[in-house]
Chain A
Amino acid sequence: MNPLKTFTTAAILLLTASGVAQAGATLDAIKKNGFIKCGVSDGLPGFSFADEKGNYNGIDVDVCRAVAAALFGDPAKVKFTPLTAKERLTALQSGEIDVLSRNTTWTSSRDSAQGMNFTGVTYYDGQGFLVNKKLGVKSAKQLDGATVCVQAGTTTELNLSDYFRANKMKLTPITYDKSDESAKSLEAGRCDVLTSDQSQLYAQRIKLAKPGEYIVLPEVISKEPLGPVVRHGDDDWFDIVKWTLFVMVNAEELGVNSKNVEEMKKSTNPDVKRLLGVEGDKGKDFGLATDWMAVVIKQVGNYGEIFERNVGQGSPLKIQRGLNALWNQGGLQYAPPVR
């Protein structure tokens, strides 16, 4: 039960706040445990979704696997905890998980008042609306008086109110804890519209009984940079998570992928040599193996590979790269250099 879980995490936060003491403690504890505790979504195809055998798949999942590969040389050393939107931030604050990789929007208050550090952006998203074709709605501006299903405790909930208020429209929101409940309610007609980040709308739609009957409206009403989060207080851990993502983006830019990584070690390009640990030790300062970047690429892949296999052309979602293309290909994905 969710209220129970929130209660428990709050109680843990209250009583064992000492459990997450001193700087560096998160990384020390992870090394001692031998695995990473990673918070993911409770079921969102393409981002984190458990198959029938209980194996998790998705972009958010792969980010955690990549961090495990960086730290332990083994992408399997992750323990996934499925969390609802409502539970996720408390779970991170309380130390129940080490990293939250659950399509979470980077905002100022989460960075400041809530004691978190966003390590980067895995997916540039924006909020949209999913409606039944039968309604005949062509634009979000026609939604005056509509009943809207939305997930509780998200930035989506706030953007929705803002948008309706700015356009002087009447709103009846129904807030559910789980995205599945929203989808079921949209199908049953309890709400006219389902709102969420656009990537989630596509993912939700393929879970519906008749996906063809629903369309995503053209309006994108917000900026939703989604990325992994760690809590304040352990900069070394923050650096590792942050750079794992940068390594994957850099690898795509340099044309290194999981298939050609061994071959590319012979490359004459100094950027590639540094990335793959052939020239200079880029592991020591992180406290990691010399070739950790090569291990991440080999075992999990570069950013482009992860994107395509989970949400892109290699997946049922077939989402275009769009904003998530590399900076030199018209998108926003840009990583600082390995140097």
Chain B
Amino acid sequence: MAEHAPAPVKPPFWNDPQIRAILFQAIALVVTVAFGLYVFDNTQANLRRLGIASGFGFLSSPSGFDIIQSLIPYSPTSSYGRVFWVALLNTLLVSALGIVLATALGFVIGIARLSKNWLISRLALAYIETFRNIPLLLQIFFWYFAVLRVMPAPGQSLDLGKIVFPKLGLEEIAFLNIRGLYLPAPEFQTGFGWVLAAFGIAVALTVLLARWARRRQKATGQQFPLFSVSLALLLGLPLLTFWLAGSPLAWQVPKLQGFNFQGGLVVIPEMASLLLALTLYTATFIAEIVRAGIQAVSHGQTEASLSLGLSSSLTLRLIILPQALRVIIPPLTNQYLNLTKNSSLAAAIGYPDLVSAFAGTVLNQTGQAIECIAITMAVYLTISLLISLMMNWYNRRVALVER
């Protein structure tokens, strides 16, 4: 006697988990969008009622103020939109330089921290613990108001060529004073294009050479002195072209005229202090990340490598670092993001970055707080996401490939 299983009753749709899930998602979406619209509409209405101008039209009106450091041509007749680009480039400049310097210093300190030499490892530890535990803003103030303020006035500038490289005929070309570091600026003349082209060719040749050397080593086991040959190629070829083209490069030397040095390149103390503080602060975190990454590689790897006859520097370069990088890259990305965002502390010492010049001065001169802050937030978000994307891409390249 076959039992009749009761025909499956289709549950009402509000009890269907799948439909429910979709329904709840939809409700959440509608509520979020409605809230966003409400805030937007409310803001618009209130701005109108308070008689505050809104919209992005202000970006094309003339700014009327000067900026101390600009990588692109700028004058007070330029627009607020131009101020945005000037400020953005200043932020990117200090962030990029900071990332490069902090990475280099961080790796050196991180490795020094693991040195068998007691003095070196303790010095690295002392540096890390000091700079990591003092607030960044204080460090910026320290470099700006304490250290760089003892530099001499322009009239008594330190002649760097004379002090650092005496008797080389380098006098009167580079100066250091309270207004900044003045360096000769290169002036490219016709024919310099050839030097650049030669450098390009040298880079291409090096890449081809490296590929060929790797293939040969895989096939035959023979090593090729790649480093010295490519260095000779990268330096020699452009230098030869430079000589052949009749030295198409002149230097514009800074000269003291009136109040200040004119001409040449100048690194203003605002930027120098910010860069110093960002680098020294972030490098401590990077050093700890590097140390942790190296220690994460099992000691057996080192022993195996040494017993195979590899030198300890080769062991570090070929065995440990490639494995350590897998542990290092993700937290390193965080430090890059932190450094970029921390660069906004520039406002405290008058370095014209995005927050200081755009979200500060422009906001104040136009009174359009919401637009200026929204743009600034969007820019930091974009920069951070771009850095993340790049680092994720690099992380995938070094990640463990399982076979």
Contact A89 B367 (CB under 8 A): yes
0/1 interface trace, chain A 176-200, chain B, CB 8 Å (1 if under):
1100010010001110100000000
Does B66 belong to the interface (CB within 8 Å)? yes
The residue that A177 contacts in the complex, of B53, B137, B360, B370, with Cβ under 8 A, is B360
| Chain B residues, Cβ within 8 Å of A184 | 145
Does B364 belong to the interface (CB within 8 Å)? yes
- CB A287 to nearest CB in B, in angstroms, measures 22
Contact A157 B361 (CB under 8 A): yes
Does A277 belong to the interface (CB within 8 Å)? no
CA distance A94 to B369 in the complex (A): 10
Contact A177 B348 (CB under 8 A): yes
B62-116 residues with Cβ-Cβ distance < 8 A to A are 64-68, 76
Does A231 belong to the interface (CB within 8 Å)? yes
Does A314 belong to the interface (CB within 8 Å)? no
Contact B68 A113 (CB under 8 A): no
Contact B369 A153 (CB under 8 A): no
The residue that B365 contacts in the complex, of A15, A20, A158, with Cβ under 8 A, is A158
Q: Check A21/B46 contact, CB under 8 A, given A90-B363, A174-B350.
A: yes
Contact B39 A146 (CB under 8 A): no
CA distance A175 to B178 in the complex (A): 16
The residue that B367 contacts in the complex, of A11, A114, A188, with Cβ under 8 A, is A114
Does B309 belong to the interface (CB within 8 Å)? no
Does A329 belong to the interface (CB within 8 Å)? no
The residue that B68 contacts in the complex, of A6, A174, A177, A181, with Cβ under 8 A, is A174
0/1 interface trace, chain A 1-28, chain B, CB 8 Å (1 if under):
1110011011101110110110000000
Contact B360 A173 (CB under 8 A): no
Contact A146 B66 (CB under 8 A): no
Q: State which size class the interface on A falls in.
A: 35 or more
Contact B49 A233 (CB under 8 A): yes
0/1 interface trace, chain B 336-375, chain A, CB 8 Å (1 if under):
0000000011011110100110011101111101101100
Contact A3 B50 (CB under 8 A): no
Q: Check A17/B46 contact, CB under 8 A, given A86-B364, A144-B258, A177-B360.
A: yes
Contact A93 B348 (CB under 8 A): no
Does B288 belong to the interface (CB within 8 Å)? no
| Chain A residues, Cβ within 8 Å of B349 | 176, 181
The residue that A85 contacts in the complex, of B179, B260, B364, with Cβ under 8 A, is B364
CA distance A9 to B64 in the complex (A): 25
Contact A113 B356 (CB under 8 A): no
CA distance A94 to B47 in the complex (A): 10
| Chain B residues, Cβ within 8 Å of A110 | 367
Contact B369 A10 (CB under 8 A): yes
Does A298 belong to the interface (CB within 8 Å)? no
| Chain A residues, Cβ within 8 Å of B361 | 86, 152-153, 157, 175
The residue that B53 contacts in the complex, of A6, A113, A153, A181, with Cβ under 8 A, is A113
| Chain A residues, Cβ within 8 Å of B366 | 109, 113-114
Does A313 belong to the interface (CB within 8 Å)? no
Does B32 belong to the interface (CB within 8 Å)? no
- CB B21 to nearest CB in A, in angstroms, measures 31
Residue of A nearest to B46 (CB): A17
Contact B50 A190 (CB under 8 A): no
- CB B322 to nearest CB in A, in angstroms, measures 40
Residue of A nearest to B49 (CB): A233
Residue of A nearest to B77 (CB): A165
B142-167 residues with Cβ-Cβ distance < 8 A to A are 145, 149, 153
Contact A146 B53 (CB under 8 A): no
- CB B142 to nearest CB in A, in angstroms, measures 14
| Chain A residues, Cβ within 8 Å of B145 | 184
B28-60 residues with Cβ-Cβ distance < 8 A to A are 39, 42-43, 45-47, 49-53
Contact A152 B364 (CB under 8 A): yes
Residue of B nearest to A173 (CB): B66
Contact A232 B51 (CB under 8 A): yes
CA distance A247 to B369 in the complex (A): 35
A88-144 residues with Cβ-Cβ distance < 8 A to B are 89-90, 93-94, 109-110, 112-115, 135, 143-144
Residue of B nearest to A176 (CB): B350
The residue that B259 contacts in the complex, of A90, A147, A174, with Cβ under 8 A, is A147
CA distance A154 to B64 in the complex (A): 11
- CB B154 to nearest CB in A, in angstroms, measures 8
0/1 interface trace, chain A 140-169, chain B, CB 8 Å (1 if under):
000111110000111001101110110000
Does A171 belong to the interface (CB within 8 Å)? yes
CA distance A89 to B364 in the complex (A): 7
- CB B39 to nearest CB in A, in angstroms, measures 7
| Chain A residues, Cβ within 8 Å of B262 | 145, 170
Does B293 belong to the interface (CB within 8 Å)? no
A-B contact pairs, 12 of them (CB 8 A): A10-B369, A14-B370, A17-B42, A86-B363, A90-B367, A147-B259, A152-B350, A153-B361, A158-B64, A160-B66, A172-B260, A173-B66
Q: Which residue numbers of B lie inside 8 Å of A, CB to CB?
A: 39, 42-43, 45-47, 49-53, 64-68, 76, 137, 145, 149, 153, 178-179, 257-260, 262, 269-270, 344-345, 347-350, 352, 355-356, 359-361, 363-367, 369-370, 372-373
